[in-house]
Structure 1
């Protein structure tokens, strides 16, 4: 949603970093089973599951069992560090929310509130708040019928919905519908053939990966997915790579998204250095700062045991001579 990104596997959020794309994960099961997840699954062990995008960046997960069906619609509201999960189910669903701070290193302190649950980082003031239109008394529970779940991140618990939010009216239905309509109007899905549909979904993804406060476009929302399963070439791509961003701006330009293409180019122009090489690094953070040093997260097993898990990217220290050319080419076009 221009802030961060969630990856959802069969009803389970297996990757989500808050508050922005390159932050430590809150749900990191993608890289380790113990690194946190937010799952919604049928109580029955045997079920069929399908996933498709309703519109770009709005995911529909369908479950089918002998007892009936269930639908989950997931979206991240525009302008929020949050996710809304809307459930409609004929069957009993089992919900488990297990956040873990700092890439699975710290278990949260859980506190029950009047209309939800708060998960606090034991080493800072940041927190997650889970709210619902149904009463919540545990982070693991069952539901049936229609349920809306709202998970929101705050850098300080005093800014969260159980403190500052108490003085503000919350309208999840409005937020859900406006975000759904935003993507529906932003990217017209071409349903004529599979290629057209894939192009539309891909365009929506590229637009969603532009960090909205700055205009920086990240290469990918994940870290340490291996080039070869079981191998060690596992890198962090949650940064603005000059080469990738220039090509993304061209793709958006030729697809009619001129404003977004120019935002990316303006972001890159803001990095130009007049004293030395025009672009010192091949990659920058989403706010234009120098990228962090590369580190190994030793306590995570890695995707399908592909170690090591890395955050940061040592490629930042490389001198790459071609990147200015990609930017100039994008400006020319």
Structure 2
């Protein structure tokens, strides 16, 4: 796996640092905001910050053992240089602490509004202040340590010796100038020690294989959660392409209902009920009981609806992939699996300690979700793959409607609402009968009735307790997926869609495949699939959406919430199986096949 970017965050926004530590991506004031540094999407005008020697023979990176603090170590002919980079928890501040035997060149070149606006700047003692002339952003660069100016207004020579650089960013009106100008504390190690507890809180007991990658994935999930609301974003970036030079590049910096529910399930299985419940509460509060329950497939991290998709035509795009985009056109789609994804999560939270009163508090949302599914399950939708032009009766969407109604049935029974439980049960039976009839007619489950294609989303049928993993109808489906979509344990989500051919395996689908093998008792094969995916993590333990099998490069937005949740759930299920503990499932009376009684 080739080196790729490192992720740093503070629960408000996230940055990406290159293999030399340069900050090439930083939106403000939160994940979905415009960038201050955006070289990731335009090498010339996007803006960046870097601190590195003019020449070096080797560079290595690692995260410190206690959290998302990036250590970049350069080897030069004159000696080593070490730079530690992190973000403070609270207001957005980027810290660089260096110890170097050689001079380092600091370059700070912000560019506001996704690279569209050059900053106004003011030279200050030991630094620089940058301001967006058309917006509220102010960035204050402060340098403490051996310092020499250069002929360029955006560069300084730092060291040799120890130095600390802080970039504080404000978008307040008026800007909090006292905070921006506050002197740098003289003990950067203490500043990191105050931050590290935030990352250590993400870790949970785990005694299975791939321990470090499991913990890294929990940290990544935490880094992608917006602290004020508890909402996770699908990925930290926009417009990183599935295939360079193609047009498959989208903005993933929003809280997709489906992705968020998966993340909460991963956290719940890892033992972090508090974070899982915060995500569930965010999603439940996003429910609209008087209209379409989710007005869009993804709210912003504050729960409001984002604007539509727009092309950033002045940017050259990552790897010349145009257009770069802000916003996502899928906001207008009907995706019928969302309510079921959330109710599966709510049901399992209700099984955890002390959640009964909590469910009663959100019963209005549970009822709205269940009634929505009861009335809409037979409609056509865009599916979880968010096809831009394909609409159909997608099997996975129907599965998730069945899941949601079974979850709502149990919740209603537990609260004594037997009339509603029966109403939802009867609709769930209809969905099940329709799905089984379509499957038996075709000899396997299909993505849509009458479709001859293969779809990795069908791997989720046993994962949600719809059918046993060894049921003949499912094993026939699995054989079709294995034959057409699986390549040495890696899984394509499909072979083509309305935009053309799918070029790379989809990492989440590979984790689904491993979970199916575990349910079939094929531990050795499951471990092979897991190992294949472990090897696809970057050297820092991060996953994208896809991986290019030819070059080993990460593809798609990065890092990807789906992929990291897939790893956590898969390893947690593997450990539960070996420990004799059950994975998340419905109670037996909900899993038994049921028929509709005559009315």
Provide closer, same or farther for how the CA distance between residues 297 and 258 of structure 1 changes in structure 2, counting only shifts above 3 A. Answer: same
Are 1:246 and 2:256 matched, yes or no? no
Q: Which runs of 5+ in 1 are unaligned?
A: none
CA distance in 2, matches of 1:136, 1:49: 24
More strand, by proportion: 1
Partner of 1:175: 191
Matches of 2:131 and 2:205, distance apart in 1:
40
Is it true that 1:15 corresponds to 2:25 in the alignment? yes
Contact 2:233–2:260 (CA under 8 A) maintained in structure 1: yes
Q: Deviation string for 1:41-66 (max 9, x for gaps)?
A: 2122x421111111332111111122
Instruction: Measure how far apart 1:124 and its partner are.
Output: 2.5
Partner residue, 1:274:
289
Per-residue displacement from partner, 1:83-135 (whole Å, max 9, x unpaired)?
Answer: 11111111221110100000111111110123431001111342101112136
CA offsets per residue over residues 224-277 of structure 1, 9 Å max, x none? 000111110100000000000000000011111111111111000001111122
- What is the CA-CA distance between 1:181 and the residue it aligns to? 3.7
**Conserved 8 A contact 1:127-1:157:** no
Matched, 1:99 2:149: no
The one of 33, 42, 47 aligned to 1:32 = 42
CA distance in structure 2 between the aligned counterparts of 1:66 and 1:219, rounded to whole angstroms: 42
Find the partner of 1:184 among 200, 203, 210. Answer: 200
> Would the aligned equivalents of 1:39 and 1:95 in 2 still touch at CA under 8 Å?
yes
C-alpha change, 1:88 and 1:158, in structure 2 (3 Å) is: farther
The equivalent of 1:72 in structure 2 is 83
Pairwise CA distance, 1:166: 7.8
* TM-score between the two structures when normalised by the length of structure 1: 0.93
Aligned ranges 1:19-168 → 2 under 5 Å: 19-34=29-44, 35-44=46-55, 46-54=56-64, 55-134=66-145, 138-143=153-158, 144-156=160-172, 158-160=174-176, 163-165=177-179
Alignment length (residue pairs): 329
1:280-309 deviations in whole A, cap 9, x for unaligned? 211110100111110000011111011110
Counterpart CA distance in 1 for 2:208 and 2:104 is 35
Q: Do the aligned partners of 2:224 and 2:236 also contact (CA within 8 Å) in 1? A: yes
Q: Which has the larger radius of gyration?
A: 2
State the Cα deviation string for residues 26-77 of structure 1 (Å, max 9, x = none). Answer: 1111111121010112122x42111111133211111112221111111111
The 1:167–1:28 alpha-carbon spacing in structure 2 relative to 1, beyond 3 Å, is: closer
Instruction: Give the Cα–Cα distance (whole angstroms) in 1 for the partners of residues 238 and 264 of structure 2.
Output: 22
Structure 2 CA distance for aligned equivalents of residues 166 and 323 of structure 1: 42
**CA–CA distance in structure 1, aligned partners of residues 313 and 272 of structure 2:** 41
Aligned to 1:201: 216
Greater relative CO, 1 or 2 (CA 8 Å, sep 6+): 1
In the alignment, which residue of structure 1 is the partner of 2:427? none
The runs of 5 or more residues in structure 2 that have no matched partner are 1-9, 349-599
Residue aligned with 1:284, SS? coil
Residues 204 and 270, structure 2, Cα contact 8 Å, conserved in 1 = no
Give the CA deviation at 1:152: 1.0
Q: 2:241 aligns with which of 214, 219, 226?
A: 226
CA contact (8 A) 1:58 1:75 kept: yes
1:285 is the counterpart of 2:294: no
Q: Summarize the Cα distance change of 1:170–1:72 in structure 2 as closer, same or farther, 3 Å threshold.
A: closer
